[in-house]
Amino acid sequence: MKKILLIVFIILLSSQLYSQLEYAPVSHPVYDYLKRMSLKGVIQDYNSAALPLSRQKISEYLVIIESAKSKLGKTDNKILNDYLVEFSYDINNNLKKSYSLFSDFKSFSVFDNDRQKYLYAFNDSNVSFFWDATGFVSQRSSKGDSLGNNSILLGEIGTRFRGTLFNSVGYYLRMSNGQKIKGNQKDIDFAIATNPKFKANTKFTYENSNFDTYEGYLKYSTPNEWLSIIAGKEALTYGFGYIDKLFLSTNTVPFSFLKLDLAYKSIKYSFLYGSLKGDSLGRDIANKNIATHRLDVRASNKLRFGFWESLIIADNAFNFTYLNPLSFLRSADYNAGENKPVNKNNALMGFDFEYQPISNVSFQSSLLIDDLNFATIFDNNKDGNPGNDNRFGYQIGAMWTDAFTIPNLTASLEYTKLDPFVYTHRTNKSQYTNWTLPLGHHLSPNSDEIAVKLAANIYNRLNASLTYQHQRTASKIVMSGDTLIANYGGDINRGDGDVIRSNQFLDGNRVDKDVFMFAFTFEPIRQFFIDFEYQFTFYDLIYSSRKLKDNYFFGTIRVDF
**Measured between alpha carbons, how far is 98 from 100 in angstroms, rounded to an integer?**
7
Whether residue 93 is predicted with pLDDT greater than 50 in this model: the reply is: yes
What does pTM read for this prediction?
A: 0.93
**pLDDT tens per residue, range 229-240:** 999 999 999 999
Whether residue 109 is predicted with pLDDT greater than 80 in this model: the reply is: yes
**pLDDT tens per residue, range 535-552:** 999 999 999 999 999 999
The residues, any chain, with a CB within 8 Å of residue 329's CB and separated by 6 or more, are 291, 293, 309, 310, 311, 322, 347
Q: What is the mean pLDDT of residues 103-125?
A: 87
**pLDDT tens per residue, range 159-177:** 999 999 999 999 999 999 9
Between residues 306 and 109, the one the model is more confident about: 306
The conformational region for residue 436 under phi > 0 = left, psi -120 to 50 = alpha, else beta, is left
Between residues 418 and 18, the one the model is more confident about: 418
Q: What is the mean pLDDT of residues 311-330?
A: 86
Mean pLDDT rounded to a whole number for the chain: 91
pLDDT at residue 330, as a whole number: 81
**pLDDT tens per residue, range 65-82:** 999 999 999 999 999 999
**Measured between alpha carbons, how far is 484 from 507 in angstroms, rounded to an integer?**
17
Q: What proportion of the chain, given as a percentage, has pLDDT over 90? A: 80
Q: What is the mean pLDDT of residues 393-412?
A: 97
pLDDT band for position 305 (50/70/90)?
Answer: very high
pLDDT at residue 318, as a whole number: 78
Q: Is residue 427 a contact partner of residue 314, using CB atoms and an 8 Å limit?
A: yes
233, 249, 317, 551 from 288: Cα distances, Å: 16, 18, 8, 36
Element (H, E) at 512: strand 509-525
132, 174, 528 from 135: Cα distances, Å: 10, 12, 10
pLDDT at residue 388, as a whole number: 63
Whether residue 312 is predicted with pLDDT greater than 80 in this model: the reply is: yes
pLDDT at residue 111, as a whole number: 87
pLDDT at residue 337, as a whole number: 59
In angstroms, what is the C-alpha Rg of the chain? 24
Whether residue 38 is predicted with pLDDT greater than 50 in this model: the reply is: yes
**pLDDT tens per residue, range 503-523:** 899 999 999 999 999 999 999
Q: What proportion of the chain, given as a percentage, has pLDDT over 70? A: 92
**pLDDT tens per residue, range 242-281:** 999 999 999 999 999 999 999 999 999 999 999 999 999 8
Whether residue 5 is predicted with pLDDT greater than 50 in this model: the reply is: no
pLDDT at residue 375, as a whole number: 59
Q: What is the dihedral of CA 256, 260, 261, 267, to 10 degrees?
A: -120
Q: Is residue 290 a contact partner of residue 301, using CB atoms and an 8 Å limit?
A: no
Q: Is residue 215 a contact partner of residue 176, using CB atoms and an 8 Å limit?
A: no
Whether residue 10 is predicted with pLDDT greater than 50 in this model: the reply is: no
**Measured between alpha carbons, how far is 495 from 390 in angstroms, rounded to an integer?**
14
Exposed/middle/buried for residue 309 (C-beta within 10 Å: 0-12, 13-18, 19+): buried
Lowest-confidence range among 149-158, 174-183, 197-206, 417-426?
197-206
Whether residue 83 is predicted with pLDDT greater than 60 in this model: the reply is: yes
Q: What is the mean pLDDT of residues 182-199?
A: 93
Between residues 302 and 386, the one the model is more confident about: 302
Q: Is residue 507 a contact partner of residue 437, using CB atoms and an 8 Å limit?
A: no
pLDDT at residue 13, as a whole number: 43
Whether residue 404 is predicted with pLDDT greater than 70 in this model: the reply is: yes
